[in-house]
Amino acid sequence: MDIKWKEMKNIHVYSMGIVPDLVHWLFDFYHCFGCYFMVENGLMRTDEEIKPGKVNVVFPSIFNTVESSTSRKLTAAIRSTISGPPDVKNRYSARSLRYGAITELALHRELSVFAGCARSGHSTGTTVDDYIDDNNPAYGLQAGMARCGYQDLASNLKAKIEVPRLEALGVEVAASVDELLTREAQIFDHRYGHTSPEALLGEWSKLITSDLASRRMQTPVINADLVSLAAGLNQALSMLTGLTNQMQSLAQHNENLEKKIATQSSELASLREDSRKSAIKLSVLKTPQHSGRKRAKSENTYVDVISPAVLFQSDEVTRAAIAAPHAPAVGKKDPPKPQLTEVLLAARTVQQKTSQPLMQKTDFLDLLLEHRETLYLEKLHETPIAPHCQRQGGASILSSEVNIS
């Protein structure tokens, strides 16, 4: 029997042929496992062992034991069988088993370094290791036979393998074996008129063979139409799956495009707003601060400044003053230059004409600048705007001395 041995340190897997021991049955692998399976319930698994996945484990009781704990147990078992003072016992441990086995392989006259390394799992230290098939059972079989007491390794490797049979027990016990099998297995068949286990098993083997051969001759009939229909359904299912994947891909692509368009629209709106604010600021900067006041004109309407007192009057008075704009008579001087309150009143006029809700005082000058082209207000100040109403950070900061709210 060949098993695959795995090294714990490097996870290296190689062949490990199991050879029966030639010296004593106590050390024979097959005898030990046979006793474990047949006498010690080695094949039995309880519900507690099946649930954690131990149904295929050879030794469930030690499945969770770590390697270091196993080494300590082996060391304790070895030292308990050795007589002598403590210093002598302490020379031996679980590693001594490997020392002894590898030393025995090294001293064997029929083994080479390759054969010893094939069994122990060590490397030869050369690049030859990369080209050796260590999964070949014959590679480490010679060293395994040497460990089990065989001497003529070359001849034993070529020996014919015999399957164990009951005849190997000898002729003197043949009758007892027949009676044992007849009694335990209750073998009897009235068709043959005897109870010889070997004869009955032979006849039963013939019956089983003929029945198996007759079953193999019966080939099930498959309807060609059903086969064609199944093939067509499989093809249609494959096409449907492909179309579904394409639709999902297109939907994902459309979703990405919509997100991209929304992002670009938002960026465009932001750019437009920034451009509008920049244009307003530029128009303010281009207006001379000390030029003479010009009359605001439209096609048929003159929007003139109004007295500061009108700002604090009722809405009806303000609307009446705005509804009756006038131009100075010929030869008359222009009205007095507007003050800050007149600027605010003009902004209030813009607010009323655009039907916008009443805004805070920090937004009046912005509103005035936004609609100045509509009202043709070219210049409202001859002198610079006072520090208390200069623009800061894109918004008009008006003095608290003028109550506009």
pLDDT for 350 equals 59
User: Is the torsion defined by CA of 160, 165, 167, 170 positive or negative?
Assistant: positive
- The reply to whether the predicted model has a pTM over 0.75 is no
- What one-character DSSP code corresponds to residue 171? G
Q: What pLDDT is stored for residue 99 in this prediction?
A: 92
Q: Nearest CA to 340 among 282, 396, 296, 292?
A: 396
The reported pLDDT for the residue numbered 319 is 44
Burial class from Cβ neighbours inside 10 Å (0-12, 13-18, 19+) for residue 234 reads: exposed
Q: What is the DSSP letter of 112?
A: -
The token pair at 311 is: 């700002």
- pLDDT in the model for residue 401: 36
d(CA 34, CA 42) in angstroms, rounded, equals: 9
Place of tokens 């307003």: 280
Contact 384, 289 (CB under 8 A): yes
- Residues 142 and 110: beta-carbon distance below 8 Å: yes
Q: Classify residue 261 by its DSSP letter.
A: H
CB atoms within 10 A of CB 150: 20
Tell me which H or E stretch contains 16.
Answer: strand 13-17
Name the burial class of residue 27, with classes exposed (0-12), middle (13-18) and buried (19+) by CB atoms within 10 angstroms of its CB: middle
Identify the sign of the CA torsion 160, 138, 155, 116. negative
C-alpha atoms less than 13 angstroms from C-alpha of 182 in its C-beta half-sphere: 15
Q: What is the mean pLDDT of each run of 10 residues along the chain (405 residues)?
A: 81 86 85 87 83 81 78 91 89 92 90 89 88 86 88 73 63 70 64 64 79 67 76 89 91 91 90 86 64 39 39 44 46 50 59 54 53 44 39 37 36
Residue 119 amino acid letter: R
pLDDT value of position 403 = 36
For residue 326, what pLDDT is reported? Answer: 45
